[in-house]
Amino acid sequence: MGRVGSLFSAASQGRGFQSLFIWDLMKRPARTTELEKAIGYKFKDRALLQRALTHASARSSRTVEDNERLEFLGDRVLGLAIAELLCEKLPQANEGELARRFNRLVRGGTCAQIGRAIGLGPHLILSGSEAESGGRDKDTILADAMEALLGALMIEAGFDQARKIVRALWAGELEKEERSLPTEVAQPCNS
């Protein structure tokens, strides 16, 4: 029957075009090579990577798992990795200064910016309506997917690997934070 014929056959059997859209996107793992190069890690568990890239809008049935639980875990991985990095890089900063910088580094806008930098958007699995409304470039979707990707890294490779990737991906943002430090915080005391 061929692929196109089977697609239209499925649509006529009442599964709908949203299901077909999701079915067609299941081939994404073959295209995730660029994303894996950008983060410096190749997933062994392709289903885990696919789940990290699947937005809740694509959940047309109970058989499709979305990335919300991975996002929850990834948020904690990112927070711990950034907190550790800030304490290491800014030994003279007080808690208030660390908290302000931490919040800038883990906020949704920063996560979305990093997601754009690694080309995350084109790899996201979204519902047809979400994709059509520009979902691949929405800050909230990119930020959540970035965190889900970190959660998937944590599950597959452990915290050390996830931390290494956070340090690499957030290096530019951390450099901006270090350049903006007041000199008394940036320089250790010589007393």
| Three-class secondary structure of residue 54 per DSSP | strand
What are the backbone angles phi and psi of residue 125, rounded to the nearest 5°? Answer: -100, 110
Distance CA 172, CA 153 (A): 21
Residue with tokens 């890089």: 89
Contacts for 121 with CB less than 8 Å, ≥ 6 apart: 115, 136, 137, 142
Q: Which two tokens stand for residue 82?
A: 């950034």
| Rounded alpha-carbon distances, angstroms, from residue 31 to 25, 34, 51, 123 | 10, 7, 15, 8
Which of the following is catalytic: 75, 144, 173, 177? 75
- Annotation says 147 is catalytic: yes
3-state secondary structure of 125: strand
**How far apart are the C-alpha atoms of 164 and 119, rounded to whole Å?**
19
Q: Which of 66, 71, 130, 147 is catalytic?
A: 147
Give the torsion through C-alpha atoms of 36, 41, 47, 50, to 10 deg.
-40
75 is catalytic: yes
Structure tokens at 191: 């007393």
Which residues are part of the catalytic machinery?
A: 75, 147
